[in-house]
Structure 1
Amino acid sequence: MTEPAWVQHAIWWQVYPLGFVGAYPADTPPTADEHRLRRIVEWFDHAIGLGASGVALGPIFASQTHGYDTTDHYRIDSRLGDGGDFDHLVEEARKRGVRLLLDGVFNHVGTDFGNSSWFRKRRNGSGFDTFEGHDGLIALDHDNPEVVDYTVGVMTHWLARGADGWRLDAAYAVPDRFWAQVLPRVREAFPDAWFVGEVIHGDYSARVRDGGFDSVTQYELWKAIWSGLNDQNFHELDWALVRHNEFLDDFVPMTFVGNHDVTRIASRLENTKHLAHALVLLLTTGGTPSVYAGDEYAYRGVKEERFGGDDAVRPEFGSPPEGIEQLGHDELRLHQFLIGLRRRHLWLHTARTSPLQLTNRQYVYQTRNGADSLVVALNIDDEPLSVSLPEVGVAQGEILGGSGAPPQHIVTAAEVEPHGWLIIAPTARP
């Protein structure tokens, strides 16, 4: 594993800046003198109150529309502001001990990108390759040494200005040999930076090894969480966690139940009672967790496969809400509790899971790292779930949290209410 030591403590709060500050889509695009990037600073204290230690930003560089059609990686998008606004963001983050992750789009660029000689030509010689058929996203020629040098230059430039790492967009579409040339050079200059590649399908471990990433996005687990809950099939989830354990032997994945590219988890789940189960899974399994801004308030939004189909999951945010009557109060408190639990148990970063009881709709698993462990019980059935700790190798345990109102804290057995959950810390073994 190559990740820096600070990543063990990292819990990201992810923001899509152009949407977050109302810069895209917008009938009248804002201008640089509105300095909208600074609005994100207003939410730093909210992220800290949530329990996050870093803010993962979507694209902030000059682009034509949604940020992923970059035209100049060295310039802040004028709809967000200017370089001074980025420096302000860094300064305010540093005051609070908040890390910043940038989103780098180096697989493709916008049609107005300044150097068309770096575009990858189609094999038949007619025009340029595009990203997944999108005419406005022109693929770069990753065999061109100048593209390698340019990418290294961009990444080191913004790390020098205060960023802590990079999410590398569409990393799965870029040859591993390109990243293997880029990342060692950047890491040599900034050995404490973290690099996570966006990878959806395929051999995650091979991508990490051959490309030189610290981590990749764990889409397999994301899919198994929501589909396992919707299909009432915990066997699918358990199989995904077996795979997840194997990944943890090689690297620590970036885990999530929502991001700017997918339908919000509150809209994806057929039973919103199971939002808690999804979050418990995210925060009691190994990984570097990321929470998409708004999910802590149970925001809804459905991604559609059409132009503008991402807009619903990338809304504008106003000022942070105050008081206890705000939207999604219960979800917010649950996020705070579970993130707090995670931060008190740093060993969860590389914890492996093993099933203790498993049926389609009831799942008890142990999450363990050496001598440290927790027992997690998830019930999506209409009937209660009985858990006998001695039968799963634990003499007794302390209930740390769960749905309902446990009658006592130290138990040898527990009952999980229908569609409920429970987290128990073992205190003795038989």
Structure 2
Amino acid sequence: MASRLDIGGGQEHKGSDYRPGGRRRHTSTGRRRPCTGGSPTPRHGTAAPPTGWRQGWRPPPTRHSPPALRGDRVPDWIRNAVFWHVYPLGFLGAERDAGPQTPVTHRLRRLEPWLDYAADLGASGLMLGPIFASSTHGYDTLDHFRIDPRLGDDADFDALAGAAKARGMRLVLDGVFNHLGRGHPAFTEVLAQGRSAPRADWFRLSWPRGDGPGQTPDYATFEGHGELPALDHDNPAVADLVADVMTHWLRRGADGFRLDAAYAVPTRFWATVMARVRTACPDAYVFGEVIHGDYAGFVREARIDATTQYELWKAIWSAIVDQNFFELAWAMTRHEALLDTFVPQTFLGNHDVTRLASRIVDERHVAHAVVILFTCAGTPSIYAGDEQGFRGFKEDRPGGDDDVRPAFPETPDGLAPYGWPMHELHRSLIALRRLNPWLHAARTRSVALANHHMVYETRGAGGESLTVALNLSDRDITETAPGAARVIAGAATLGRSGTAKATVTLPPHGWAILAP
């Protein structure tokens, strides 16, 4: 798709007793960054490079004025952002299940050496999967105000947030607010006390067998999962809870939130919550998980910054696998229309889907997908391991996510050697993107299109442009590439370079990025 606070480094956990209207002022000995004012130093402006490993060339700082977008003000820092996305419970090898007596294991700090790896890759931010207390996979929240003991405690979070800030990196958390875990104290109260439970109105309940103590109600769930009772988003107390959780962690050091299963929650609820979050933390970036439907309408009504772009994700790998670039061209047209309202959060993989290298069987074509991601508009993320060519299949069964949520070695030095060529491809394309920040909201048009090959131009509001050429076939292809004068990535031969009649010739299964 997680919840109590360790006060002042001790073991007194208060979050499970949270009740809107009687909200606690949570305090901490850890570092807090105020939500209002100030920003971390941009990563490429930091004086000290990452230490200990694979230090190399970094793009210089860039100053730019991206095109203005309609809707709520988007935080300036997001316009040049690239996220490295980690599912912590899997990445750090946490136990599958957590019980009431699960001891605190300080795993979060093991992410710190990986921050240097992510920074060297070119990422400007760390996007974390669920880290709040839960029973199993992190999406069955037990306490939104407490770090999952399998990952650590508040001090570990503070240390990780501080380490990210020291590298100029942003930190985005995963907020699960459509539902709770069945073991959340608010729901166990309902099971024990019936309709009279103090937080019974947090849920959508009916009582066909009676509503007294010990009676089990029927209740709304997340997509039929009985362990995930859905919240009642028409209840103002639930909006209070969500706004308090978000502002608490934003004040503690986070820079934004991914809203899990945002599509399952009424947009009017998000609008209510976002009004409070924006007031307290105007520089926060908040995007919602939305799979189908009207992305632009959702953003407008929910007053969030963006949604996930599953339509483009599907079109990228499907067009390559089926060798049908017409599908990609259609999706790009729809993608461009979204830019009138917002810039989507784009990706090739995440913790819920089969890995790219397993989707695209012909490994010669995986690079084509990465090229598309980093030359199209969006706020891109790389799911940890994809940049190393990891494989893994998502299956519709209990434990079917395990293959795409593996444990990683203690440090990057433990990675297998076969993944480094793919890593270097990602690194070079991220560098190119960060040197061309206008790509964040660039407009794209097809120049040449066939089933097996495609040439498209991507253009910024200030007249900047790049041309991308892709070939999936077993033969050379030559197509028009107006104005192209230089090959800046990939391999190609240009004809009549720099003219309106310029052409590009690609080798079999090749790709290239061209500049004027």
Fold-level match, TM-score > 0.5? yes
Counterpart secondary structure, 2:374: helix
- Is the contact made by 2:122 and 2:427 (CA closer than 8 Å) also made in structure 1? yes
| TM-aligned CA deviation for residue 32 of structure 1 | 4.6
Matched, 1:223 2:307: no
Map 1:37-48 to 2 at 5 A. Answer: 37-48=108-119
Q: Write out per-residue CA displacement over residues 23-78 of structure 1, whole angstroms, 9 at most, x where no aligned residue.
A: 04379999554300111112000000100000000000000100000010000000
Quote the residue 2:487 is aligned against.
399
1:249 lines up with 2:340 in the alignment? yes
In the aligned structure 2, how far is the partner of 1:408 from the partner of 1:341? 23
- Measured in 1, the distance between the counterparts of 2:344 and 2:134 equals 29
d(CA) in 2 for partners of 1:123 and 1:253? 42
Q: So what's the TM-score if we normalise by structure 2?
A: 0.78
Distance 1:123 1:171, change over 3 A: farther
Query: For 1:108, what is the secondary structure of its paired residue?
Result: coil
Counterparts of 1:305 and 1:215, CA distance in 2: 28
Aligned partners of 1:353 and 1:366 also within 8 Å: yes
Deviations, residues 386-407 of structure 1 (Å, cap 9, x unaligned):
1343xxx32x411101147x69
CA distance in 2, matches of 1:34, 1:148: 32
Q: 1:409 to 1:162 in 2, by over 3 A?
A: farther
User: 1:32 and 1:387 mapped to 2: Cα distance?
Assistant: 62
Equivalent residue of 2:398, what SS?
coil
CA distance in 2 between counterparts of 1:128 and 1:161 reads: 34
In the alignment, which residue of structure 1 is the partner of 2:159? 88
Take 1:75 and 1:27, find their aligned partners in 2: how far apart are those partners? 13
Report if aligned partners of 2:496, 2:503 keep a CA contact under 8 Å in 1: no
Which is strand-richer, 1 or 2? 1
Gap regions ≥5 residues in structure 1: none
* 1:234-293 CA distance string (max 9 Å, x none): 001000000000001100000000000000000011211111010000000000000000
- Aligned partner of 1:12 in structure 2 is 83
Q: Letter of the aligned partner of 1:397 in structure 2?
A: A
Q: Alpha-carbon deviations, 1:210-232, whole Å to 9, x = none? A: 01110000000000001111111
Cα drift, residue 408 of structure 1 = 11
Q: Which residue of 1 aligns with 2:372?
A: 281
- Checking the alignment, whether the CA contact within 8 Å between 1:30 and 1:80 is kept in structure 2 is no
Alpha-carbon distance change, 22 to 323 in structure 1, aligned in 2, over 3 angstroms: closer
Shift of 1:348: 0.0
Instruction: Give per-residue Cα distances to partners, 1:339-393, cap 9 Å, x unaligned.
Output: 000000000000011000000111000001131000000001111121343xxx3
Kindly indicate whether the alpha-carbon contact (under 8 Å) linking 1:31 and 1:81 is maintained by their aligned counterparts in 2.
no
Work out the CA distance in 1 between the residues paired with 2:98 and 2:158: 28
Pair 1:281–1:155, CA change in 2 (3 A): same
Query: What secondary structure is seen at the aligned counterpart in 2 of 1:291?
Result: strand
Percent of paired sites with the same residue? 55
**1:267 matched residue in structure 2:** 358
Q: Is the 8 A contact 2:495 2:503 kept in 1?
A: no
Measured in 1, the distance between the counterparts of 2:496 and 2:176 equals 49
Letter in 1 for 2:290: V
Q: 1:363 to 1:15 in 2, by over 3 A?
A: same
Do the aligned partners of 2:446 and 2:454 also contact (CA within 8 Å) in 1?
yes
Q: Secondary structure at the match of 1:22?
A: coil
Deviation at 1:127, TM superposition (A): 1.1
1:386 matched to 2:478: yes
Letter in 1 for 2:465: S
1:416 aligns with 2:487: no
Residues 1:279 and 1:124: Cα distance change in structure 2 (over 3 Å): farther
Alignment of 1:147-158 (within 5 A): 147-158=238-249
Q: Which residue of 2 aligns with 1:373?
A: 465
Out of 16, 23, 36, the position equivalent to 2:94 is: 23
Instruction: Normalising by structure 1, report the TM-score.
Output: 0.94
Q: 1:124 to 1:344 in 2, by over 3 A?
A: farther
Q: 1:224 to 1:316 in 2, by over 3 A?
A: same
- Superposition CA RMSD, Å: 2.2
The verdict on how the C-alpha distance between 1:415 and 1:372 changes in structure 2, with shifts beyond 3 A counting, is: same
CA contact (8 A) 1:25 1:311 kept: no
Aligned 1:180-191 pairs, distance under 5 A: 180-191=271-282
Return the alpha-carbon distance in structure 2 between the equivalents of residues 407 and 29 of structure 1: 65
Per the alignment, residue 326 of structure 2 pairs with: 235
How far apart in 1 are the matches of 2:363 and 2:208? 50
Aligned counterparts of 1:318 and 1:47: Cα–Cα separation in 2: 15
Q: CA deviation at 1:9?
A: 1.1
Q: Residue 289 of structure 2 aligns with which residue? A: 198
Match for 1:121: what amino acid? L
